[in-house]
Amino acid sequence: MSWRIRDARDFADALEGRARPSSREVASLIAVAERLCEAAAELQPSPAFQTSLRTSLMTEAATVLTATAPPVTARAHRRQISFPVATRRAAIAVAALATTFGLVGMTTASASALPGDTLYPVKRGVENARLALKRGDSERGAFRLELAANRVAEANGLVEHRSVPATLEADTLTAYSEQADQGSDTLVRSFKATDHRADIITINRFANSTAGQLEKLEGKLDGPAAVALAAAQTQLASIVDTTSRLCPACGGIDRDVISALTGPGPATEPGPSSPAPSPPDGAAPQTNPAPGPGPVGGRPAGAGDADEDSSNDSRDDDSSGDSDDASDSDEEESDASDEPEPSPSPRPSPSPSPTPSPSSTPTPAAPKADFTWSGQPGVGNELRVTFRDASSPDAIRWKWDFGDGSPTSQVKNPPRHTYPASGTYAVTLSVSNKSGGSNAVTKSVTVPVR
Amino acid sequence: MFEGRGALRVAIAYALSEPSDRRVVRAIGSRPNPPRDEDDLERIRALIELAQKGDADAFGQLYDRYMTSIFRFVHARVGSPQLAEDITSDTFLRALRSIHSYTWQGKDFAAWLTTIARNLIADHYKSRRTQLEMVTDLPPERASTQPAPDTDVLAGISTQTLMRAVNSLPAEQRDCILMRFIQELSIAETAQALGKSEGAVKQLQLRAVRRLAKVVEKETVT
């Protein structure tokens, strides 16, 4: 039978212009097919018939269609996208232009639109429409990261080509942070449900590329824009922190690029969870209880080799069991040689005990516990809260109870915590120091109804 | 990353949410060819959804797009233009009345319309209790590598003769030829309409064209 299949394929390929006829016979058969197509043109309906049938159908449709329109299903109500007036007008213009000039010109114009341009709302409207058509966490999360990348590209564009009010830059960078946040959260959720590494790798690659772009903006912004930039970098560092915890073996991260996120200077820990702006962090051994060989966080991932190659498999399985997140990383803490690293490789940190701010304050018997938090609304009533430790520098152990029954976290700055429902939560941070003194503080986090 | 498709989608999404805005609906529908790329498929989807929600104009646009294709198929099958007109009318009327039962996952829209047409043709002939379309003697089928007729011979054949030859083929081969070359459906669409795999359609079209070539050769020789 194989000759039949091969012949059939050759013929099909030649018909569609993918290959030249493989034999004289095929060539002749192609000629027959062409003759058929010519004949088709002679089988045209008469214009008179064409029009008269259309008229009859339209008359019929007036009764048939409206009378029996079925109840609107959930799918039809799928998404209500609100269109600002400018987008509406632009949509009509685009649709009309599409038929005459093709979409190319319009596309190029709005694709490169920057905040402040006339066509910029169209660009954002298009993004939203495309997002609405994405299905499933994986797709949606990845697409949000694409949108975030657009924002940072725009931020760079704004800086290079014009002088703009700092608020425009700031807003763009804030939008970046939000999309990065939502996108990575969604992908993390997908990863937790499906274990598809591709989701984490997508985040890593996104972090990689945008970290570089954020870095390019350093020093070029001031005022609110600079603040937004710092927040964006912090955000990204925290995201990378999460992914390396969840899947240390997942590749896509370039260590050097990521360590640049936390900025040069005294905060030498490559750990992303110590954001530049908080000085007291410097002293203590850092964020993550450091497993000797390896990646940050709960997993003493055995094979510490840097597998940047996303196609490698199941490296993270040979660690002692626990594939949970950092909250269970009790046992690693004892090792003071902290290697808080975002990447899976065991590269020792350049200075294991970064001590930019002398912790030579007269050590009280017990540390002072404190923290700050800030929330960003998520989907529905969700609130995504970022907690930042603000305890005294001598604290070396942390334990966070988020007040919603979720597992505790034992790192200095826990990964972003999502409260799914509105309400008030009592969040407790307990800290202890080297000499065994401990303290705790409880604060209320309120998730508003939206 | 930012493709032209995106702009089209926002237009479509807008049209779906504001069906009273006729300008956008019209702008969406007005491409002449049978749908080939994703853009077109999106447009078709939008039109179908609008029609299902009660938009007569959207249905009109669908008619504009597919009318010629269906007509050609029917005309090639039945030979007579008048009969072709009747059956084409019935096809679209039936489609209009059952548009609600059309779901995208089921069948490609072109395949769906073609199926309606085929059924109507079959009904027509069944009800007349006469023999189906024109039949001529068929040479026995062989797996051959004989060259098909010269192009000169081909060019000299009238469309009528050619169509008669097509109609003399076994039903599936005939329909495959009509769908692929008269309606210009894709392999995928043809596969859907015939209820076969794409690989099977490729083999079928080869068999059909080979057979047709032989019939034509025989016709012109005699």
- pLDDT mean over A258-287: 46
Cross-chain Cβ contact A39/B9 below 8 Å: no
Cross-chain Cβ contact A7/B209 below 8 Å: no
Predicted structure pTM score? 0.39
Task: Check residues A438 and A97 and name the one with the higher pLDDT.
Answer: A438
Cross-chain Cβ contact B155/A39 below 8 Å: no
Option in A33, A57, A99 nearest B30 (CB): A99
Chain A residues with CB under 8 Å of B97 CB are 64
The model's confidence at residue A44, banded by pLDDT at 50, 70 and 90, is: confident
Specify the pLDDT at position A89.
58
Option in A12, A98, A111 nearest B2 (CB): A111
- pLDDT mean over B29-47: 65
CA distance A301 to chain B (A): 36
Option in B17, B64, B147 nearest A28 (CB): B147
CA distance B100 to chain A (A): 7
For A125, the token pair is 């409207």
- pLDDT mean over A276-295: 40
Specify the pLDDT at position B11.
58
Summarised one tens digit per residue, pLDDT across range B187-220 is 988 998 899 999 999 999 999 999 999 888 876 6
The model's confidence at residue A283, banded by pLDDT at 50, 70 and 90, is: very low
Summarised one tens digit per residue, pLDDT across range A257-267 is 777 776 543 43
DSSP collapsed to 3 states, chain A: CHHHHHHHHHHHHHHCCCCCCCCHHHHHHHHHHHHHHHHHHHCCCCHHHHHHHHHHHHHHHHHHHHHCCCCCCCCCCCCCCCCCHHHHHHHHHHHHHHHHCCCHHHHHHHHCCCCCCCCHHHHHHHHHHHHHCCCHHHHHHHHHHHHHHHHHHHHHHHHHHCCCCHHHHHHHHHHHHHHHHHHHHHHHHHHHHHCCHHHHHHHHHHHHHHHHHHHHHCCCCCCHHHHHHHHHHHHHHHHHHHHHHHCCCCCCCCHHHHHHHHCCCCCCCCCCCCCCCCHHHHCCCCCCCCCCCCCCCCCCCCCCCCCCCCCCCCHHHCCCCCCCCHHHCHHHHHCCCCCCCCCCCCCCCCCCCCCCCCCCCCCCCCCCCCEEEEEEECCCCCEEEEEEECCCCCEEEEEEECCCCCCCECCCCCCCEEECCCEEEEEEEEEEECCCCEEEEEEEEEECCC
CA distance B67 to chain A (A): 8
Cross-chain Cβ contact A36/B2 below 8 Å: no
The model's confidence at residue B71, banded by pLDDT at 50, 70 and 90, is: very high
Cross-chain Cβ contact B27/A11 below 8 Å: no
Summarised one tens digit per residue, pLDDT across range A65-74 is 764 445 544 4
Q: What percent of chain B has pLDDT over 70?
A: 67
A122, pLDDT greater than 50: yes
Chain B residues with CB under 8 Å of A104 CB are 4
A167, pLDDT greater than 50: yes
Cross-chain Cβ contact B166/A40 below 8 Å: no
CA distance B55 to chain A (A): 7
- Amino acid found at A247: C
Cross-chain Cβ contact B60/A53 below 8 Å: no
CB pairs under 8 A between A and B: 231
Specify the pLDDT at position B196.
92
Specify the pLDDT at position B20.
55
Option in A15, A57, A70 nearest B96 (CB): A57
CA distance A206 to chain B (A): 14
Chain A residues with CB under 8 Å of B180 CB are 33
DSSP state for residue B32 in the 8-state scheme:
-
What count of other Cβ atoms lies within 10 Å of the Cβ of residue A220? 15
**By CA distance, what is A50's nearest residue in B?**
B67
Summarised one tens digit per residue, pLDDT across range B154-183 is 667 788 888 989 999 999 999 999 999 998
**By CA distance, what is A129's nearest residue in B?**
B10
Chain A contact for B50 (CB, 8 A cutoff): no
The model's confidence at residue B96, banded by pLDDT at 50, 70 and 90, is: very high
- pLDDT mean over A89-111: 50
The model's confidence at residue A110, banded by pLDDT at 50, 70 and 90, is: low
Burial A93-103 (b: 16+ CB within 10 A, else e): bbbbbbeeeeb
Chain A contact for B210 (CB, 8 A cutoff): yes
For A376, phi then psi, to 5°, come to: -125, 135
Chain A contact for B108 (CB, 8 A cutoff): no
Option in A25, A42, A62 nearest B56 (CB): A62
Q: Hey, which residues 130-189 in chain B have their CB within 8 Å of chain A?
A: 143-149, 151, 154-155, 157, 159, 162-163, 166, 177, 180-184, 187
Chain B residues with CB under 8 Å of A106 CB are 4, 7
The model's confidence at residue A131, banded by pLDDT at 50, 70 and 90, is: confident
Specify the pLDDT at position A170.
85
Q: What percent of chain A has pLDDT over 90?
A: 7
Average pLDDT in chain B: 77
- pLDDT mean over A306-332: 40
**By CA distance, what is B206's nearest residue in A?**
A8
- pLDDT mean over A243-254: 83
Chain A residues with CB under 8 Å of B49 CB are 76
Cross-chain Cβ contact B7/A87 below 8 Å: no
Q: What ipTM was predicted for this assembly? A: 0.70
Chain A residues with CB under 8 Å of B55 CB are 65
The model's confidence at residue A155, banded by pLDDT at 50, 70 and 90, is: confident
Cross-chain Cβ contact A98/B10 below 8 Å: no
Cross-chain Cβ contact B23/A80 below 8 Å: no
Summarised one tens digit per residue, pLDDT across range B133-157 is 444 333 444 444 444 455 566 667 7
Specify the pLDDT at position B141.
42
Summarised one tens digit per residue, pLDDT across range B100-137 is 888 876 568 888 999 999 999 988 887 765 554 444 33
